[in-house]
Structure 1
């Protein structure tokens, strides 16, 4: 079942990973390597301010290739200079067999250069890949950056683990490898069920993705000079309340900085993460939904999660539990998670369309103002 999978380990060998961190890294890689299934293709990339690979192309796993990999690990001592992760990850992905699913396992202590560039590159690679592509992150050491390993796995559709000094981690490594090799052929969607107040027997279903079809924005409202100046690769967002633009968004002359940009209405339902990542064994996934007053009227009854797959489709229903006392905690968590998605170039703005299905982001060249 694993013969259509490829695993590439991208291991940090910069100066910051010397000492016990290198020892931990080597021990973790040994567990990974000795646990690979026979016949799977694999490779190892080592990086610092440059990178090298064990093989020119991934090789089939067997006794001979395993011996070469274990011999490589004997010479690791963290002498590759500063931590330039981007090029190593990019080259490892480019070296893949295009006919096979790829899982990249990035092992690093988290002190890297160009972190945001790395996330953007992962986003782009995952979006363009015709076969499954996932980037998982293994944090090495007690001071590993959670922003790196968690942000990287969000961008790479994978999941993160961390191993500290002196920790027994064999179980973590095995679970991570099992997750990396688990096929993920599903796209997931969520719908809300409401029980109306007028008729307890009537149930209304509202699909979250349907709310992303928003009002058409008129491109003629844009000034061409403004469009050309704005960066088209990421959405620029500012909120506008009842009293007008936020004072922090005013230029020196007191004018609203983005007054020329067209407005985009906020959907009735906001789901974060917008694209539910692959579901792994032994790994938890939290999905939050923000509901506006314009959402369907009624008491939430349940949440329906569907996995759309030709191999193993499924549907699960989770009953809603209403709090006795109102609380803003969940709302704040959802809003924070939604903002992180927007900052990382994902989220609802990327997927919002007009009445005929045309991308609102491309229509306004990636620059628009959100009414909230």
Structure 2
């Protein structure tokens, strides 16, 4: 708890003077320093520093869903918000927390980002990384004996900058986005919905229009903001007989206008299976998160992707690249 309080104080002392801020303490319950975010001033800073310096582990267990829900519901609507989650614990409902963040982020688009800082040796890496990934921020970890100034200040600086966005990577010389093959979902998936209160049933619309002829599988499919000083990797698995470009092109949009970066392809990366396994693992993570090439492809916009189809893709990747997932295992 001492390390988390130090991180909070470091952030508080580094906030620019034209920002609004609030501090919410949480455990099995939560309390906010202010009812609403306050303009940074000597008075508001003094109250926040006093809170940080008096913090103790007296809030019980770690309950993050309710506190994040409160933060989102009470954030200012007239300006972008950056949320910093500082935790040294773990929770049982990571998926529920992630879904909450993803829903709020999609509603607010570029006006909300969530950053997470994991403290100590017992913190849940899955929680910290999943929260930041869903919130389009990034995560950092600090051990009990590690100086954290550089990581914390760097995270704050990146949170205050307008993100570079609208990334697009050109992997091949040919545009394969116009393929038209569709995946026929087995009829047994089209089961009626049975009401708990009525005997009538309503048939589901057959989900037989899911576009699956995706020859370029990128992960993450939706590239989050890329921040200075933070390593970020994008993987891609191409269908057999499709050759990548000799120079991969990254296009993006910044506050100063369009950006372009050409990256020469190193043929060595195409050899062996190590990179391929890393790519497949990231594809599986995207599929689990509901942000994959399957879920977010423009031709599947607004369509409900059946869980059976997601499982089919995960199993195929697991078998092909000998990976353990929630649907595959090896003895």
Coarse TM-score class (shorter-chain normalised): 0.7 to 0.9
- Cα distance between partner residues in 1 of 2:269 and 2:297: 34
Instruction: Give 1:131-210 correspondences, 5 Å limit.
Output: 131-193=110-172, 205-206=173-174
Instruction: Normalising by structure 1, report the TM-score.
Output: 0.74
- C-alpha deviations, 1:236-261, integer Å up to 9, x for none? xxxxxxxxxxxxxxxxxxxxxxxx97
Deviation at 1:155, TM superposition (A): 1.1
Are 1:361 and 2:291 matched, yes or no?
A: no
CA RMSD of aligned residues (A): 2.6
2:232 corresponds to: 285
Deviation at 1:217, TM superposition (A): 5.2
- Cα distance between partner residues in 2 of 1:103 and 1:128: 15
2:321 corresponds to: none
Instruction: Normalising by structure 2, report the TM-score.
Output: 0.82
Instruction: Give 1:289-304 correspondences, 5 Å limit.
Output: 289-293=236-240, 295=242, 298=243, 300-304=245-249
Deviation at 1:324, TM superposition (A): 8.6
Gaps of 5+ in 2: 195-205, 317-331
Q: Do the aligned residues in 2 keep the contact of 1:272 with 1:289 (CA within 8 Å)? A: yes
Deviation at 1:43, TM superposition (A): 0.5
DSSP-derived class of the 2:257 partner:
coil
Higher RCO by CA contacts (8 Å cutoff, separation 6 or greater): 1
Deviation at 1:124, TM superposition (A): 1.2
Instruction: Give 1:115-126 correspondences, 5 Å limit.
Output: 115-126=94-105
Gaps of 5+ in 1: 1-21, 194-204, 230-259
Deviation at 1:214, TM superposition (A): 4.8
1:44 corresponds to: 23
1:337 corresponds to: 282
- C-alpha deviations, 1:219-272, integer Å up to 9, x for none? 8x756852648xxxxxxxxxxxxxxxxxxxxxxxxxxxxxx9757534100110
1:25 corresponds to: 4
Instruction: Give 1:314-353 correspondences, 5 Å limit.
Output: 314-323=259-268, 326-353=271-298
Q: Do the aligned residues in 2 keep the contact of 1:185 with 1:311 (CA within 8 Å)? A: no
- Cα distance between partner residues in 2 of 1:46 and 1:29: 11
DSSP-derived class of the 2:48 partner:
helix
2:199 corresponds to: none
Structure 2 vs 1, CA of residues 281 and 122 (structure 1 numbering), >3 Å: closer, same or farther?
same
- Cα distance between partner residues in 1 of 2:269 and 2:15: 50
Structure 2 vs 1, CA of residues 104 and 213 (structure 1 numbering), >3 Å: closer, same or farther?
farther
Q: Do the aligned residues in 2 keep the contact of 1:216 with 1:360 (CA within 8 Å)? A: no
Structure 2 vs 1, CA of residues 324 and 91 (structure 1 numbering), >3 Å: closer, same or farther?
closer
DSSP-derived class of the 2:96 partner:
helix
> Which 4+ runs in 1 deviate beyond 6 A?
none
